[in-house]
């Protein structure tokens, strides 16, 4: 239950100590004041880095700044950074190739040989008056460093038109790497359809908080959202409905490729989900032969779950699944395909097992690693199968046993990671079947130890889920996602020892709001957070 009533409003200045005490107006005092305002940004990063050292004066980006890379490997990140900085600063920020550190007035992006103890997604960032360096083992690490750099700049950097301000990065060193390699966010585009632009915006939000997997729930009872050439009715007939019956749609193969590419540029891997054998109303509405009774199902615009299934006993079911998985595998460069497996309430246990025994190998045959909601473990699939835990309890002996037997898990407990749970009783959007999830609840758990009897080494990482029964627009998505999401993003990235103090986190979270305001994010101003 949320605990908004106990909330006490505290100034974010507490977290950025000392700033308010410095007198303004006098030359040096004002410079010192600015320096400490800049330095405060080292202390409001989300996710909080592994190590941060403040060293006084930092680097100011000017008209003279160039971005340097040592070779083409870092160019993609350099271009992303330049594109991001050019509009608000109005500077040219040319990208140049240069061996080693770029020298004065450069933002230098360096890829180095991994040194011992360095994580492959980690980075180091240094800022001093002569320049700024981000060093990493992999481009993904550079990209994470760039997201940190973004938060080290004044919030005005989030504008897409030219601003006049001093673009100072506080002086300091940061050493940083993720706790979990896998940090995910799920988006339900089936209950309500979201167009390509909306999903791109969502991907940008993930990247901003260092989340590197987007799980797209592409099919459900209410709509089929991905073009499949060999079964064209799926989108000709199965894509024109959604919850409430409003306007809907699907991604053509070209649009899906566009999303993949957009995500790749941001080091986000897309995981497509084709939910099987339940949650298949849209397919059953498109093809009579997939139904056991041979007649097409009626269009579904409601929110019931669990009352649909492909016909387990028919061969055509497996021809259908094979074609769909083959085409989805062909258009997905990432290593995973999610095959759902949840809430198949109208099949018997033995039918469920029969189905998964045939379908899991299809995913493997097309070179992908299967993921399922944790019910998939009931069918005892091969240990390569990843299970996504979504119940609320800490005790799940079957899941714990599977983890001990080699299954990897994704942690999405609905009581903490379901972004569609209402913040409190008054939240107009969202659901409450798993209880209310305040922003504090979203932070108050440990993905590594949530499940009793499961060792942290079996946890790939946390994943948020955003189901869209009640969400129709980008504004709706933003309302449930902000500020529910950054807490879970931090739990995925930051060291456990740095993520157990809500009193400290709430100030860093509050400091993000000035960026969201400029970005135009429709966030919920929960009274639990001391917004500035």
Distance CA 47, CA 494 (A): 6
What are the structure tokens assigned to 152, written together? 């080290």
Nearer to ligand TNX, 215 or 507 (CB): 215
Distance (Å) of CA 92 to CA 62, 63, 83, 517: 9, 7, 10, 26
Residue 217 Cβ, how far from ligand TNX at the closest point, in Å?
8
Kindly tell me which of 127 and 412 has the beta carbon lying closer to ligand TNX.
412
Those residues with Cβ within 8 angstroms of residue 125's Cβ, 6 or more apart along the chain or in another chain: 132, 133, 134, 135, 145, 148, 149, 152, 173, 174, 176
Q: Which is nearer to ligand TNX, 190 or 321 (CB)?
A: 190
From candidates 289, 343, 351, 380, binder to ligand TNX by CB under 6 A: 343
Of 353-382, which residues contact ligand TNX (CB under 6 A)?
373
Site for ligand TNX in 320-339 (CB under 6 A): none
Q: Is 250 in the site for ligand TNX (CB under 6 A)?
A: no
158 tagged catalytic: no
Q: Candidates 84, 182, 287, 390: give the one binding ligand TNX (CB under 6 A).
A: 390
**Beta strand pairing status for 167-176 and 123-128?**
antiparallel
Contact (CB, 8 A) for 370 and 360:
yes
* Angle formed by the axes of helices 474-481 and 196-208, nearest 10°: 20
The H or E element containing residue 77 is: helix 75-89
Beta pairing partners, 54: 172
Q: Which is nearer to ligand TNX, 327 or 476 (CB)?
A: 476
Which residue in 227, 240, 420, 472 binds ligand TNX (CB under 6 A)? 420
How do 386-389 and 51-61 pair as beta strands? unpaired
d(C-alpha 251, C-alpha 498), whole Å: 40
Number of residues that bind ligand TNX (CB under 6 A): 10
**Taking the alpha carbons of 361, 366, 369, 373 in that order, is the dihedral positive or negative?**
negative
The least distance separating ligand TNX from the CB of residue 279, rounded to whole angstroms, comes to 6
Residue 434: CB minimum distance to ligand TNX, A: 7
Rounded to whole angstroms, what are the CA distances from 265 to 132, 179, 238, 396? Answer: 22, 22, 31, 38
In three-state secondary structure terms, 357 is helix
Q: Which of 237, 255, 258, 343 is catalytic?
A: 343
Interface pick for ligand TNX out of 35, 299, 342, 441 (rule CB under 6 A): 342
> Judged by CB, which is closer to ligand TNX: 152, or 459?
459
Contact 163, 156 (CB under 8 A): yes
Q: E-assigned strands of 177-276?
A: 184-188, 213-217, 219-220, 223-224, 269-276
* C-alpha to C-alpha distance for 450 and 345, rounded to whole angstroms: 26
- Minimum distance of ligand TNX from residue 421's CB (angstroms): 7
**Pairing of the two strands 66-69 and 106-111:** parallel
Largest CA distance in the chain: 83
* 148 vs 415 by CB, closer to ligand TNX: 415
**How far apart are CB 222 and ligand TNX at their closest, in Å?**
10
CB 342, min distance to ligand TNX, A: 4
| Binder of ligand TNX out of 123, 418, 493, 505 (CB under 6 A) | 418
Given 22, 52, 95, 431, the residue binding ligand TNX (CB under 6 A): 431
Q: What is residue 207's three-state secondary structure? A: helix
**Footprint of ligand TNX on 285-314 (CB under 6 A):** 305
Q: How far is the CB of 373 from ligand TNX (least distance, A)?
A: 4
* Nearest distance in Å: CB 396, ligand TNX: 14
Figure out which of the listed residues 250, 256, 320, 467 binds ligand TNX, where binding follows CB under 6 A: 467
Which residue lies nearer to ligand TNX by CB, 418 or 481?
418
Nearer to ligand TNX, 168 or 375 (CB): 375
Catalytically active residues are 343
Binding site for ligand TNX (CB under 6 A): 305, 342-343, 373, 390, 418, 420, 431, 467, 469
């Amino acid at each position: 239950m949320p605990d908004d009533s106990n909330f006490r409003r505290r100034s974010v200045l507490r977290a950025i100590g000392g700033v308010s005490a410095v007198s303004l107006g006098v030359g040096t005092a004002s410079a010192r004041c600015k320096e400490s305002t800049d330095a405060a940004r080292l202390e409001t990063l989300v996710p909080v880095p592994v190590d941060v050292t403040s060293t006084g004066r930092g680097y100011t980006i000017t008209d003279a700044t160039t971005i340097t890379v040592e070779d083409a490997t870092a160019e993609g990140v350099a271009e992303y950074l330049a594109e991001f900085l050019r509009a608000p600063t109005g500077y040219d920020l040319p990208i140049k190739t240069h061996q080693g550190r770029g020298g004065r007035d450069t933002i230098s992006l360096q890829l180095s040989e991994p040194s011992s103890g360095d994580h492959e997604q980690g980075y180091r960032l240094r800022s001093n008056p002569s320049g700024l360096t981000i060093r990493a083992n992999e481009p993904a690490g550079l990209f994470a460093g760039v997201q940190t750099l973004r938060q080290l700049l004044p919030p005005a950097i989030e504008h897409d038109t030219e601003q006049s301000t001093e673009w100072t990065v506080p002086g300091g060193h940061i050493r940083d790497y993720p706790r979990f390699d896998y940090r995910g966010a799920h988006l339900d585009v089936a209950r309500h359809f979201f167009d390509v632009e909306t999903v791109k915006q969502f991907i940008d939000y993930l990247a901003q908080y260092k989340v590197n997997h987007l799980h797209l729930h592409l099919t459900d009872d209410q709509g089929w959202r991905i073009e499949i050439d060999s079964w064209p009715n799926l989108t000709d007939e199965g894509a024109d409905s959604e919850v409430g019956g409003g306007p809907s749609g699907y991604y053509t193969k070209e649009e899906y490729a566009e999303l993949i590419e957009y995500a790749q540029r941001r080091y986000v891997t897309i995981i497509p989900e084709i939910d099987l054998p339940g949650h298949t109303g849209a397919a059953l509405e498109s093809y009579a032969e997939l139904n056991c009774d041979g007649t097409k199902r009626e269009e579904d615009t409601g929110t019931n779950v669990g009352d649909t299934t492909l016909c387990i006993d028919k061969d055509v079911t497996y021809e259908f699944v094979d074609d769909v998985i083959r085409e989805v595998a062909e258009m997905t460069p990432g290593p995973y395909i999610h095959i759902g497996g949840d809430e198949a309430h109208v099949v018997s246990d033995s039918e469920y097992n029969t189905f998964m025994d045939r379908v899991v190998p299809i995913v493997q045959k097309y070179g992908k690693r299967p993921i399922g909601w944790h019910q998939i473990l009931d069918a005892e699939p091969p240990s390569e199968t990843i299970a996504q835990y979504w119940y609320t309890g800490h005790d799940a002996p079957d899941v714990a046993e599977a983890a001990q037997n080699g299954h990897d898990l994704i942690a999405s407990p609905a009581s903490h990671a379901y972004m569609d749970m209402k913040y409190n009783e008054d939240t107009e959007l969202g659901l409450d079947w798993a209880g209310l999830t305040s922003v504090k609840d979203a932070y108050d758990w440990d993905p590594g130890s949530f499940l009793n009897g499961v060792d942290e080494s079996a946890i790939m990482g946390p994943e948020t889920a955003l189901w869209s029964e009640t969400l129709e627009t980008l504004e709706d998505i933003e309302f449930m996602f902000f500020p529910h999401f950054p807490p879970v993003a931090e739990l995925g990235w930051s060291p456990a020892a740095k993520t157990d103090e809500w009193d400290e986190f709430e100030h860093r979270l509050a400091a993000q709001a000035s960026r969201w305001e400029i970005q135009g994010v429709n966030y919920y101003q929960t009274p639990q957070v001391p917004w500035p």
